[in-house]
Structure 1
Amino acid sequence: MWGWLALAIGAEVTGTVALRFSQGFSRLVPSMITVVGYGLAFWSLSQALGRGMALGIAYGTWAAAGVALVALIGVFFLGESLTWVQLGGIALVIAGVLALELGGATAHA
Protein backbone atom coordinates (compact mmCIF):
# COMPACT_ATOMS: atom_id res chain seq x y z
CA MET A 1 0.00 0.00 0.00
CA TRP A 2 2.65 2.50 1.01
CA GLY A 3 4.67 1.83 -2.14
CA TRP A 4 1.66 2.72 -4.27
CA LEU A 5 1.15 5.86 -2.23
CA ALA A 6 4.82 6.83 -2.64
CA LEU A 7 4.48 6.35 -6.40
CA ALA A 8 1.33 8.52 -6.37
CA ILE A 9 3.16 11.26 -4.49
CA GLY A 10 6.16 11.16 -6.82
CA ALA A 11 3.99 11.22 -9.92
CA GLU A 12 1.90 14.11 -8.61
CA VAL A 13 4.96 16.14 -7.69
CA THR A 14 6.51 15.44 -11.10
CA GLY A 15 3.29 16.49 -12.84
CA THR A 16 3.06 19.66 -10.79
CA VAL A 17 6.65 20.69 -11.48
CA ALA A 18 6.14 19.97 -15.18
CA LEU A 19 2.98 22.10 -15.07
CA ARG A 20 5.18 25.01 -14.01
CA PHE A 21 7.17 24.59 -17.23
CA SER A 22 4.21 23.94 -19.55
CA GLN A 23 3.48 27.67 -19.94
CA GLY A 24 -0.29 27.21 -19.92
CA PHE A 25 -0.08 23.90 -21.80
CA SER A 26 1.60 25.64 -24.73
CA ARG A 27 4.79 23.53 -24.52
CA LEU A 28 4.28 19.92 -25.59
CA VAL A 29 6.78 17.94 -23.51
CA PRO A 30 6.06 19.53 -20.10
CA SER A 31 2.33 19.36 -20.88
CA MET A 32 2.55 15.65 -21.65
CA ILE A 33 4.58 15.02 -18.48
CA THR A 34 1.90 16.86 -16.51
CA VAL A 35 -0.95 14.78 -17.94
CA VAL A 36 0.90 11.48 -17.55
CA GLY A 37 2.10 12.44 -14.06
CA TYR A 38 -1.39 13.26 -12.81
CA GLY A 39 -2.86 10.18 -14.47
CA LEU A 40 -0.25 7.95 -12.85
CA ALA A 41 -0.74 9.72 -9.53
CA PHE A 42 -4.48 9.07 -9.44
CA TRP A 43 -4.08 5.51 -10.67
CA SER A 44 -1.43 4.78 -8.03
CA LEU A 45 -3.55 6.40 -5.33
CA SER A 46 -6.46 4.18 -6.39
CA GLN A 47 -4.19 1.14 -6.06
CA ALA A 48 -3.27 2.11 -2.49
CA LEU A 49 -6.95 2.61 -1.65
CA GLY A 50 -7.93 -0.65 -3.34
CA ARG A 51 -5.42 -2.51 -1.18
CA GLY A 52 -7.05 -1.28 2.01
CA MET A 53 -5.44 2.03 2.88
CA ALA A 54 -7.86 4.35 4.66
CA LEU A 55 -9.01 7.24 2.47
CA GLY A 56 -8.21 9.95 5.04
CA ILE A 57 -4.72 8.63 5.61
CA ALA A 58 -3.98 8.13 1.91
CA TYR A 59 -5.29 11.48 0.74
CA GLY A 60 -3.88 13.40 3.69
CA THR A 61 -0.43 11.90 3.25
CA TRP A 62 -0.57 12.41 -0.52
CA ALA A 63 -1.58 16.05 -0.16
CA ALA A 64 0.83 16.92 2.68
CA ALA A 65 3.83 15.25 1.07
CA GLY A 66 2.98 16.85 -2.27
CA VAL A 67 2.69 20.33 -0.79
CA ALA A 68 5.93 19.98 1.16
CA LEU A 69 7.92 18.50 -1.73
CA VAL A 70 6.67 20.99 -4.32
CA ALA A 71 7.44 23.89 -1.97
CA LEU A 72 10.96 22.58 -1.34
CA ILE A 73 11.58 21.97 -5.05
CA GLY A 74 10.41 25.51 -5.71
CA VAL A 75 12.87 26.91 -3.19
CA PHE A 76 15.90 24.79 -4.03
CA PHE A 77 15.55 24.43 -7.80
CA LEU A 78 13.20 27.11 -9.12
CA GLY A 79 14.36 30.19 -7.21
CA GLU A 80 11.12 30.63 -5.30
CA SER A 81 10.99 31.91 -1.74
CA LEU A 82 9.35 30.49 1.35
CA THR A 83 8.41 32.60 4.36
CA TRP A 84 8.30 31.44 7.95
CA VAL A 85 4.51 31.66 7.82
CA GLN A 86 4.45 29.35 4.79
CA LEU A 87 6.84 26.93 6.51
CA GLY A 88 4.55 26.98 9.53
CA GLY A 89 1.57 26.20 7.30
CA ILE A 90 3.37 23.23 5.76
CA ALA A 91 4.29 22.01 9.26
CA LEU A 92 0.63 22.28 10.30
CA VAL A 93 -0.48 20.24 7.27
CA ILE A 94 2.07 17.55 8.11
CA ALA A 95 1.03 17.63 11.77
CA GLY A 96 -2.59 17.18 10.70
CA VAL A 97 -1.71 14.08 8.68
CA LEU A 98 0.25 12.68 11.62
CA ALA A 99 -2.76 13.31 13.87
CA LEU A 100 -4.96 11.40 11.41
CA GLU A 101 -2.52 8.50 11.35
CA LEU A 102 -1.99 8.38 15.11
CA GLY A 103 -5.70 8.80 15.81
CA GLY A 104 -6.49 5.93 13.48
CA ALA A 105 -3.90 3.70 15.12
CA THR A 106 -5.38 4.22 18.60
CA ALA A 107 -8.94 3.78 17.32
CA HIS A 108 -8.08 0.34 15.97
CA ALA A 109 -6.01 -0.76 18.97
Structure 2
Amino acid sequence: MWLTLAGAIGVEVFATLCLRASDGFRKKAWIAPMMIGYLVAFTLLSVTLSLGMPVGVAYGVWSAAGVALIAVIARVLFAEPLTWVMVAGIGLIIAGVLTIELTGSVG
Protein backbone atom coordinates (compact mmCIF):
# COMPACT_ATOMS: atom_id res chain seq x y z
CA MET A 1 0.00 0.00 0.00
CA TRP A 2 2.74 2.48 0.93
CA LEU A 3 4.81 1.31 -2.02
CA THR A 4 1.98 2.04 -4.46
CA LEU A 5 1.50 5.47 -2.87
CA ALA A 6 5.23 6.17 -3.22
CA GLY A 7 5.00 5.14 -6.86
CA ALA A 8 1.99 7.40 -7.37
CA ILE A 9 3.86 10.33 -5.84
CA GLY A 10 6.98 9.70 -7.90
CA VAL A 11 5.08 9.43 -11.18
CA GLU A 12 2.96 12.50 -10.36
CA VAL A 13 6.12 14.51 -9.67
CA PHE A 14 7.54 13.33 -13.01
CA ALA A 15 4.32 14.32 -14.79
CA THR A 16 4.30 17.75 -13.17
CA LEU A 17 7.92 18.31 -14.17
CA CYS A 18 6.96 17.34 -17.74
CA LEU A 19 4.16 19.89 -17.56
CA ARG A 20 6.68 22.55 -16.54
CA ALA A 21 9.11 21.43 -19.24
CA SER A 22 6.38 21.72 -21.88
CA ASP A 23 6.52 25.51 -21.43
CA GLY A 24 2.79 26.01 -21.60
CA PHE A 25 2.34 23.15 -24.10
CA ARG A 26 4.67 24.90 -26.58
CA LYS A 27 7.18 22.03 -26.42
CA LYS A 28 5.00 19.22 -27.71
CA ALA A 29 7.43 16.39 -26.87
CA TRP A 30 6.59 16.76 -23.17
CA ILE A 31 2.82 16.50 -23.52
CA ALA A 32 2.53 12.71 -23.99
CA PRO A 33 4.85 11.84 -21.06
CA MET A 34 2.91 14.29 -18.90
CA MET A 35 -0.47 12.80 -19.81
CA ILE A 36 0.74 9.22 -19.39
CA GLY A 37 2.38 10.16 -16.10
CA TYR A 38 -0.81 11.63 -14.66
CA LEU A 39 -2.81 8.61 -15.83
CA VAL A 40 -0.35 6.21 -14.17
CA ALA A 41 -0.16 8.36 -11.02
CA PHE A 42 -3.92 8.42 -10.54
CA THR A 43 -4.13 4.71 -11.31
CA LEU A 44 -1.56 3.98 -8.60
CA LEU A 45 -3.41 6.29 -6.20
CA SER A 46 -6.60 4.37 -6.95
CA VAL A 47 -4.81 1.09 -6.25
CA THR A 48 -3.52 2.52 -2.98
CA LEU A 49 -7.06 3.43 -1.93
CA SER A 50 -8.41 0.04 -2.99
CA LEU A 51 -5.79 -1.61 -0.78
CA GLY A 52 -7.41 0.09 2.21
CA MET A 53 -5.47 3.29 2.82
CA PRO A 54 -7.85 6.05 3.99
CA VAL A 55 -8.23 8.80 1.42
CA GLY A 56 -7.23 11.47 3.97
CA VAL A 57 -3.94 9.73 4.66
CA ALA A 58 -3.20 9.03 1.00
CA TYR A 59 -4.04 12.53 -0.20
CA GLY A 60 -2.26 14.21 2.71
CA VAL A 61 0.96 12.33 2.10
CA TRP A 62 0.58 12.69 -1.69
CA SER A 63 0.14 16.46 -1.54
CA ALA A 64 2.83 17.19 1.07
CA ALA A 65 5.41 15.00 -0.62
CA GLY A 66 4.49 16.36 -4.04
CA VAL A 67 4.85 19.99 -2.98
CA ALA A 68 8.19 19.38 -1.31
CA LEU A 69 9.66 17.31 -4.13
CA ILE A 70 8.48 19.62 -6.90
CA ALA A 71 9.87 22.70 -5.15
CA VAL A 72 13.31 21.14 -4.67
CA ILE A 73 13.54 19.49 -8.09
CA ALA A 74 12.25 22.59 -9.91
CA ARG A 75 14.99 24.57 -8.19
CA VAL A 76 17.61 22.18 -9.57
CA LEU A 77 16.18 21.62 -13.06
CA PHE A 78 14.59 24.98 -13.83
CA ALA A 79 16.44 27.38 -11.49
CA GLU A 80 13.13 28.34 -9.88
CA PRO A 81 13.33 30.21 -6.58
CA LEU A 82 13.48 28.28 -3.33
CA THR A 83 13.87 30.69 -0.44
CA TRP A 84 14.23 29.87 3.22
CA VAL A 85 10.68 31.12 3.73
CA MET A 86 9.47 28.64 1.09
CA VAL A 87 11.44 25.85 2.78
CA ALA A 88 9.84 26.81 6.09
CA GLY A 89 6.41 26.72 4.39
CA ILE A 90 7.13 23.24 3.04
CA GLY A 91 8.11 22.19 6.55
CA LEU A 92 4.84 23.57 7.90
CA ILE A 93 2.86 21.68 5.23
CA ILE A 94 4.60 18.45 6.17
CA ALA A 95 4.12 19.14 9.88
CA GLY A 96 0.45 19.87 9.31
CA VAL A 97 -0.12 16.67 7.36
CA LEU A 98 1.71 14.65 9.99
CA THR A 99 -0.34 16.30 12.75
CA ILE A 100 -3.60 15.52 11.01
CA GLU A 101 -2.61 11.95 10.21
CA LEU A 102 -1.14 11.12 13.63
CA THR A 103 -3.98 12.66 15.62
CA GLY A 104 -6.62 11.21 13.30
CA SER A 105 -6.00 7.77 14.75
CA VAL A 106 -6.41 9.01 18.34
CA GLY A 107 -9.86 8.93 19.88
With normalisation by structure 1, the TM-score equals 0.90
Gapped regions of structure 2 (runs ≥ 5): none
1:52 alignment counterpart: 52
Aligned positions, number: 107
Provide the identity percentage: 50
1:88 alignment counterpart: 88
Runs of 4+ in 1 over 4 A off after TM superposition: none
CA distance in structure 1 between the partners assigned to 2:101 and 2:89 by the alignment: 19
Gapped regions of structure 1 (runs ≥ 5): none
CA distance in structure 2 between the partners assigned to 1:100 and 1:51 by the alignment: 21
1:31 alignment counterpart: 31
Q: Deviations over 1:49-100 (max 9, x none)?
A: 1111011110010000000000000112221221122111111110111112
2:67 alignment counterpart: 67
CA distance in structure 2 between the partners assigned to 1:3 and 1:106 by the alignment: 25
CA distance in structure 2 between the partners assigned to 1:101 and 1:37 by the alignment: 27
| One-letter amino acid of the counterpart of residue 40, structure 1 | V
SS for the counterpart of 1:106 is coil
Query: RMSD in angstroms over aligned alpha carbons?
Result: 1.2
With normalisation by structure 2, the TM-score equals 0.92
CA distance in structure 2 between the partners assigned to 1:72 and 1:9 by the alignment: 14
